[in-house]
Structure 1
Amino acid sequence: MLKKWKQKLIVIFSAILMLSTLALAPTQANAAVTNISAKAGLAVDAKTGQILYSKNSSKVMPIASMSKMLAIYIILKSIHEGKLKWDQRVHVSANVAKISRNTELTNVPLNASRTYTVRDLYKASLIYSANAAVIALGVAQAGSSEKFVNEMRAQVNAWGITDAKLYNAAGLTESEVGTEAYPNTAKSAENEMSANDVAVVASKLVNTYPEVLNTTKETSAWFAKGTDDAVKMTTHNEMLAGDENYMKGYNVDGLKTGTSDKAGNCFTGTANKNGHRVITVVMNANPGKKADARFTNTETIMKYVYTNFTPIRYKKGEQLKQANKFKVPEGKTTTVKAGISQATTIWVANKQSKQAISFISNQTKKNLTAPVTKGQKLGTATAKIADKNVSYLQAGDAKLQLVAKKSVEKANIFVRMWRSVVSVF
């Protein structure tokens, strides 16, 4: 009898040990990545905004030249709207030219007696992180640096970012931009955002204007070639093909570095591995120490994401578990099948499968009335993985739009009356 109890205790103990190991597995995997030196870090799915790794990601910190992603978004928006043209010539003010000659800053030399194309300034801003070039673009687009910063502020507010501090297009301190400084600001002020905010900007830029990656993946280019101000620009992104921190098989093709005394070494990166694009943000990685820490930190995060998670695809129109139909009391059929309005991806831990994902639906209208047309919006669904909510950059990212998979006509009056009678009993 005692022997049997001993065997049972061994079985029970083994089961507890196994469950404990499984429970600790995600924590242990995450522990490896929390060793990054950066004060803040983040990884998200570029399209959906699903958060795959986070460290102090809501803390607002200086972002230095990562500011240029927001500036470039507005420039590309203006080009798409026809307000700016790629071959448009841009005049440079004496102050902007002076900024460009500051050897302590990253720049291409600009001359107030010359003009430069929007395309040339755009490429200098992204490839070489040229500060005066992006300020010149902002002035050309909005009429003044102040007006351009107002547009930057309005844009992030429209995206739901309320904690950003923005003063100039380049991400320099106000003392470094001279008369281009925003009115009534301290000389020490510089742009600040959280890693979450930066990821929102990066995802909006990449998803709305994917052509930006054709430039951010360039490792070098000429500026003002053929003039006495010609510069062979070399990217600061050391994770591109051919550079020392290149990651074979990860297809890193962007996005933007940032460096300042307060910001330390920062980097917003993006990789497209096996058709799944991820955006990473690293902020203040080893300030004053190794400049490449931002890249090794990024490599650690990217490897963590692609090694420990599996992306589960859902096709457009696919029905979701527990959110696949809605009641239509007055329809010829009393329910209508629902599917998602567009394809999406949900990442799960490697030990999990699609079966671990469930959904909660929320009907748009309290009572769905017939007729229902195919493609009509019925409600939204939010995902859970193993009964835990999935984290996203913004609240709206979590909602998947559900639409009717087919039309449902209204039942005739006799059918509706009969249903009313039956419902009483």
Structure 2
Amino acid sequence: MNSKIKQLLALTLVFSFVFGSLFSFSQTASAAPALDIKAEGAILVDAETGKILYQKNADALLAPASMSKMMTEYLLLEAIDKDKISWDQKTSISEYAHKISQNRSLSNVPLRVDEKYTVRELYQSMAIYSANGSTIALAELLAGSEGEFVKKMNAKAKEFGMKDYKFVNSTGLNNKDLFGNHSTGSETDENMMSPRATAILAFRLLQDHPEVLETASIPRMKFRKGSDDEIQMENWNWMLPELNSGYKGVDGLKTGSTDLAGNCFTGTIKQGDTRLISVVMNTDSRLARFKETKKLFDYGFANFEKEKILPANYQIKGNKTVPVVKGKDKEVNVATKEPLSMVIKRGEKENYKPKFVVDKKKLTKDGELTAPIKKGETVGHIKIEYKGKGDDYGYLLDGDKEGKTEVVTTKSVEKANWFVLALRGVGSFFGGIWSGTVDMIKGLF
């Protein structure tokens, strides 16, 4: 074998190895990785729409521990928005709140019965350090007693459309830790929520009160700085970028831990124009809850992307017009009011198909709009349906943001005058007679 043939064979072997390796790599890279979340329950959702990207035992009723405080935060921020209380308002501390605050085996800042504290101070210690005494003090301020506040918590959960939940106190502690001060449930009851319900709570908190992140994202703060009661608070959310399990973009939201709950975490992260919400419940350790959350965030950003699915003024083939009765025009063009963007699976844009859903309340029994019609009048919506082969978990709740956009009329249609309507009526009458006559004649032959 001469040297040229040897060189050619060698080059062939090299190219085969290189291209074979590249092909093998590309095949592996394109496949979505298996997601093994070591938690009793978990869920990952798009914070803008509530689209569920992953779930595990999403409806299992589990103990959320201090993640319950997200509901206390919501009710507090709602009360401030409605001017029922203010940030600088001061409140006294009850014997109950004081006694809980002195228990350093729980997460707490020390409170005094002979001092008054601002709402802001108590809120910061609750949101950053999960202070239980502060939470009870806020509950008493907002409702007169923790028992009455718990009623508000359950009522708000029902309003949100949460299905799997039960609140028995404001903190998420087991009732046995409340020194006999529990007013709801048994002595050993604890708050319960499913991962889905917890995600709904976080979703509504971020949608309605995004200012919660201004405090939730603070890594460290001194409580009552410069006083005898000064205490360094380090945020229990160690995934904040400045802390020891830091992850870029994490800015909330709430941890939880009890014997029944294990270690839990509701996290939120924003990268680019995408915000995600995650929930992991009953993990093995404080660090494990962040490790499992990292898996969820990695999975979310690696396998999903925000895409514009439909532009504004989009028309579906076959549904570009809607018939009109009693109008100068016999039909009207319809199109999407706004563009629609969604978080979708990477590389699968073609598997998300638009479907026109007409608002039947706007139509006659014959499927017509009745003039007069205004430009921009809503006649239905376009919903995006996933036609791919993978799992599609739907949305947290039925609502206006479920991968859909309104369809509206693109122009006005005035009502026809009586003369035009009369002519149409005559035309319809004689048209009916003519059709009947033709049918009769056809029958003779």
SS at match of 1:61: coil
- Partner in structure 1 of residue 3 of structure 2: none
Question: Aligned partners of 1:320 and 1:257: how far apart in 2?
Answer: 46
Check 1:343–1:179 CA distance in 2 against 1; reply closer, same or farther (3 A cut): farther
Alignment of 1:202-241 (within 5 A): 202-241=202-241
- Partner in structure 2 of residue 148 of structure 1: 149
Instruction: Compute the displacement of 1:361 (Å).
Output: 0.9
SS at match of 1:147: helix
Give the % identical residues.
37
Task: Find 2:416's aligned residue among 404, 411, 422.
Answer: 411
Question: Aligned partners of 1:180 and 1:25: how far apart in 2?
Answer: 56
Question: Aligned partners of 1:86 and 1:49: how far apart in 2?
Answer: 30
- Partner in structure 2 of residue 15 of structure 1: none
Question: Aligned partners of 1:353 and 1:258: how far apart in 2?
Answer: 37
Question: Aligned partners of 1:346 and 1:97: how far apart in 2?
Answer: 48
- Partner in structure 1 of residue 167 of structure 2: 166
1:296 aligns with 2:291: yes
Check 1:332–1:209 CA distance in 2 against 1; reply closer, same or farther (3 A cut): same
1:89 aligns with 2:90: yes
SS at match of 1:221: strand
2:414 is matched by which residue type in structure 1? Answer: E
Check 1:413–1:209 CA distance in 2 against 1; reply closer, same or farther (3 A cut): same
- Partner in structure 2 of residue 4 of structure 1: none
Instruction: Compute the displacement of 1:406 (Å).
Output: 3.2
- Partner in structure 2 of residue 6 of structure 1: none
Moved more, 402-411 or 321-330: 321-330
Question: Aligned partners of 2:85 and 2:72: how far apart in 1?
Answer: 14
Task: Find 1:395's aligned residue among 383, 393, 398.
Answer: 398
SS at match of 2:72: helix
1:193 is matched by which residue type in structure 2? Answer: M
- Partner in structure 1 of residue 49 of structure 2: 48
Deviations 1:267-297 (A, max 9, x none): 11111111111111111112xxx32111111
Question: Aligned partners of 2:313 and 2:115: how far apart in 1?
Answer: 57
1:154 is matched by which residue type in structure 2? Answer: A
Check 1:139–1:307 CA distance in 2 against 1; reply closer, same or farther (3 A cut): same
Question: Aligned partners of 1:76 and 1:344: how far apart in 2?
Answer: 30
- Partner in structure 1 of residue 328 of structure 2: 332
1:356 is matched by which residue type in structure 2? Answer: Y
SS at match of 2:198: helix
- For this pair of structures, how many residues does the alignment match? 394
Instruction: Compute the displacement of 1:405 (Å).
Output: 3.6
Stretches (4+) displaced over 6 A: 387-390
Deviations 1:239-264 (A, max 9, x none): 1112222223xx11111111111111
Instruction: Compute the displacement of 1:208 (Å).
Output: 0.7
Instruction: Compute the displacement of 1:412 (Å).
Output: 3.7
Is 1:358–1:387's contact at 8 Å kept on the other side of the alignment?
no
Deviations 1:213-250 (A, max 9, x none): 111111011111122111111001111112222223xx
Instruction: Compute the displacement of 1:379 (Å).
Output: 2.2
2:280 is matched by which residue type in structure 1? Answer: V
Structure 2 gap segments, 5+ residues each: 1-26, 436-445
Check 1:372–1:282 CA distance in 2 against 1; reply closer, same or farther (3 A cut): same
- Partner in structure 2 of residue 265 of structure 1: 263
Instruction: Compute the displacement of 1:202 (Å).
Output: 0.5
SS at match of 1:297: helix
Question: Aligned partners of 2:134 and 2:320: how far apart in 1?
Answer: 52
TM-score when normalising by structure 2:
0.82
Instruction: Compute the displacement of 1:324 (Å).
Output: 5.6
Deviations 1:101-155 (A, max 9, x none): 1121000111111111000111111111111111111110111101111111110
SS at match of 2:408: strand
Question: Aligned partners of 1:40 and 1:210: how far apart in 2?
Answer: 25
- Partner in structure 1 of residue 281 of structure 2: 283
1:155 is matched by which residue type in structure 2? Answer: K
Question: Aligned partners of 1:325 and 1:220: how far apart in 2?
Answer: 58
Check 1:112–1:247 CA distance in 2 against 1; reply closer, same or farther (3 A cut): same
SS at match of 1:283: strand
- Partner in structure 2 of residue 246 of structure 1: 246
Q: Which protein shows a greater Rg?
A: 2
SS at match of 1:408: coil
Is 1:336–1:408's contact at 8 Å kept on the other side of the alignment?
no
- Partner in structure 2 of residue 70 of structure 1: 71
Instruction: Compute the displacement of 1:47 (Å).
Output: 1.7
Deviations 1:181-239 (A, max 9, x none): 124x2121111111111111111111111111111111011111122111111001111
SS at match of 1:32: coil
2:205 is matched by which residue type in structure 1? Answer: L
- Partner in structure 1 of residue 375 of structure 2: 374
1:79 is matched by which residue type in structure 2? Answer: I
SS at match of 1:292: helix
1:329 is matched by which residue type in structure 2? Answer: V
Check 1:46–1:176 CA distance in 2 against 1; reply closer, same or farther (3 A cut): same
CA root-mean-square deviation = 2.6
Moved more, 330-339 or 115-124: 330-339
Check 1:102–1:154 CA distance in 2 against 1; reply closer, same or farther (3 A cut): same
Is 1:317–1:405's contact at 8 Å kept on the other side of the alignment?
no
Task: Find 2:343's aligned residue among 329, 341, 347.
Answer: 347
Question: Aligned partners of 1:411 and 1:178: how far apart in 2?
Answer: 76
Deviations 1:367-394 (A, max 9, x none): 2212222332322333202278770101
Is 1:174–1:182's contact at 8 Å kept on the other side of the alignment?
no
SS at match of 2:206: helix
Is 1:126–1:256's contact at 8 Å kept on the other side of the alignment?
yes
2:95 is matched by which residue type in structure 1? Answer: A
Is 2:336–2:382's contact at 8 Å kept on the other side of the alignment?
no
Question: Aligned partners of 1:90 and 1:212: how far apart in 2?
Answer: 21
1:240 is matched by which residue type in structure 2? Answer: L
- Partner in structure 1 of residue 7 of structure 2: none
SS at match of 1:328: strand
